[in-house]
């Protein structure tokens, strides 16, 4: 009888304590495990552990309310009441205040690696077991217990499709992000980029991971590992493609102002009346800038080349369907809207021996330099000098060479033909910078004694006898100054 009375008094006193407690309503944000919750009240977040008597499920208890006898924040020993199928009562075992900040998911690099942004700053962050992200999570919000940037061990809450996921930060690095515009696809794993803020253009070679970059349109984000884009610690991010790759190499392309006209003629000699002072069309205006031309090597396959025109690939067959021989192919940049393609047939071609196309795949020039000898292939060399591009072709049968100049607007000028009086073999012509001046060097393949150096003027070549064969070394069709 006495035991029953004591038990009744204990239950009565416990219920009276709960009934008169200062219970506050908290909301269950996430269930970490059956007795650990992330809860919130008035914008404040807490990670709380609960004692025996309360059990929680991530599938049924999230977003519900729980009562805690707490005036300010949950603390050890506070009473807890949770109305589930039946009323559960327990107490707080421990509680930590969380300083949650919202980060936007910019890109999902893999299941537990994200690129996050907050207040204009970017971070590449890895997460521990407990959070698994998919590509559909881009632009969603993840909350991290961090006042500034994510750091090791920070608690993470992510509202997934069916329930909240809770994990921690494994590692995180701050990114120095700059915006770049994809101007053009130069070659395999190489693109032309323009920095959005400065307009500076770069030729960028990149590693594996960015499969979409070769046909990407728009802005890419690049983490600059140093002061500027140079391939040391730099990384490309395609946010809307969830791809990233390392920058292997980057070369800045210098710009040269144009003062009301297009690039001038070569400075090797004063122009004559037969050489126009500027190209025929004049797309440039005062104050416009054009890049010092750059030249990139192209690869053809079975006589074909595919270039991007807008968002579509266009197949170019420079020398017709039947031509399957070797092709000398180069891509030449004078600016984002001044891109040209040079193709030279190195074996017999009936449909012109070299051709120049614009960026839309339209033929700008088709030439057979040595009439009557179009059954031969051409040897070719190309050289950028100041603000124009020179290329020279030499015939394997005709024993002739001819220099051409390609200008900013796509027009070309052909110098006169140079005849090499020799029956000793194949004529080779190469450009060389000799004593800071561009010269043409001709020789018979493999025969050093045949080397000659030429100054080339408008429609005129003059022998430069200050150089002799002894000044050079040759190997096959290659030549260099000793």
**124 and 87 within one domain:** no
Q: 240 in a domain, yes or no?
A: yes
Query: Tokens representing 96?
Result: 């930590």
pLDDT range class, residue 351, cuts 50, 70, 90: low
Residues 35 and 184 in one domain: no
Is 351 within a domain? yes
pLDDT at residue 258 above 70? no
Query: Do 334 and 405 fall into the same domain?
Result: yes
| Separation CA 414–CA 408 (nearest Å) | 15
Instruction: Report, as an integer, the average pLDDT of 270-288.
Output: 36
Whose CA is closest to 151, among 131, 167, 171, 132?
171
Among 330-339, 437-446, 459-468, the minimum mean pLDDT is found in: 330-339
Q: Is residue 278 part of a domain?
A: no
Domain end, chosen from 98, 120, 139, is at 98
Judge if pTM exceeds 0.75: no
- Assess whether 113 and 84 both reside in one domain: no
Identify the H or E element spanning 248. strand 243-253
- Tell me, yes or no, whether 337 and 407 share the same domain: yes
For residues 475 and 326, membership in a common domain is answered with yes
The full length of the chain comes to 482
232 inside domain: yes
Q: Is residue 11 part of a domain?
A: no
> What is the domain count for the chain?
4
115-136 pLDDT tens trace: 999 999 999 999 998 899 999 9
Give the span between the Cα atoms of 120 and 125, in whole angstroms.
16
Same-domain pairing of 386 and 457 = yes
Tokens describing residue 275: 């050489």
Q: What mean pLDDT is predicted for residues 24-48?
A: 93
86 plus 127 within the same structural domain: no
Range(s) of the domain holding residue 439: 293-481
Q: Is residue 308 part of a domain?
A: yes
Whether residue 330 sits in one domain with residue 228: no
Instruction: Out of 63, 98, 133, pick the residue that ends a domain.
Output: 98
Q: In the listed set 253, 285, 319, which residue is the last one of a domain according to the structure?
A: 253
Q: Of the candidates 273, 254, 191, which has an alpha carbon nearest to the alpha carbon of residue 386?
A: 254
**Does a structural domain hold residue 301?**
yes
Do residues 65 and 111 share a domain? no
Which distant-in-sequence residues (6+ apart) come within 8 Å of 145 by Cβ?
Answer: 98, 99, 100, 154, 155, 156
Average pLDDT, the chain: 81
């Amino acid at each position: 009888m006495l035991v029953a009375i004591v038990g009744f008094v204990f239950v009565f006193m416990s219920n009276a304590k709960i009934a008169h407690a200062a219970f506050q309503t908290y909301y269950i944000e996430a269930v970490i495990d059956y007795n650990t919750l992330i809860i919130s009240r008035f914008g404040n977040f807490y990670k709380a552990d609960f004692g025996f008597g309360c059990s929680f499920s991530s599938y049924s208890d999230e977003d519900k309310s729980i009562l805690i006898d707490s005036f300010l924040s949950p603390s050890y020993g506070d009473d807890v009441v949770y109305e589930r199928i039946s009323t559960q009562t327990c107490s707080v075992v421990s509680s930590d205040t969380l300083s949650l900040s919202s980060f936007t998911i910019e890109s999902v690099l893999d299941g537990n690696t994200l690129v996050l942004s907050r207040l204009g700053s970017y971070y590449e962050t890895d997460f521990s077991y407990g959070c698994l992200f998919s590509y559909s999570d881009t632009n969603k919000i993840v909350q991290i217990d961090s006042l500034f940037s994510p750091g090791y061990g920070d608690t993470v809450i992510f509202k997934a499709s069916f329930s909240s996921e809770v994990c921690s930060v494994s590692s995180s690095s701050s990114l120095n992000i700059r915006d770049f515009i994809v101007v053009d696809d130069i070659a395999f794993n190489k693109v032309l980029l323009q920095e959005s803020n400065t307009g500076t253009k770069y030729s960028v070679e990149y590693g594996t991971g960015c499969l979409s970059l070769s046909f990407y349109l728009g802005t890419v984000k690049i983490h600059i590992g140093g002061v500027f884009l140079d391939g040391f610690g730099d990384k490309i991010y395609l946010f809307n493609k969830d791809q990233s790759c390392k920058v292997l190499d980057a070369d800045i392309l210098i710009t040269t102002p144009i003062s009301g006209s297009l690039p001038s003629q070569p400075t090797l000699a004063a122009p004559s009346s037969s050489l126009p002072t500027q190209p025929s069309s004049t797309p440039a205006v005062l104050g416009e800038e054009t890049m010092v031309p750059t030249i990139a090597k192209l690869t053809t396959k079975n006589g074909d080349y595919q270039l991007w025109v807008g968002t579509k690939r266009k197949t170019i067959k420079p020398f017709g369907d039947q031509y399957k021989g070797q092709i000398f192919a180069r891509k030449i940049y004078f600016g984002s809207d001044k891109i040209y393609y040079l193709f030279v047939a190195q074996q017999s071609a009936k449909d012109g021996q070299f051709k120049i196309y614009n960026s839309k795949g339209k033929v700008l020039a088709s030439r057979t330099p040595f009439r009557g000898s179009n059954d031969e292939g051409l040897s070719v060399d190309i050289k950028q000098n100041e603000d124009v591009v020179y290329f020279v072709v030499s015939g394997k049968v005709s024993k002739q060479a001819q220099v051409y100049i390609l200008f900013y607007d796509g027009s070309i000028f052909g110098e006169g033909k140079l005849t090499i009086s020799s029956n000793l073999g194949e004529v080779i012509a190469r450009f060389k910078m000799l004593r800071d001046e561009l010269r043409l060097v001709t020789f018979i393949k493999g025969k050093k004694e045949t080397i000659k150096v030429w100054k080339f003027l408008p429609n005129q070549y003059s022998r430069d006898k200050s150089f002799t064969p002894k000044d050079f070394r040759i190997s096959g069709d290659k030549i260099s100054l000793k």
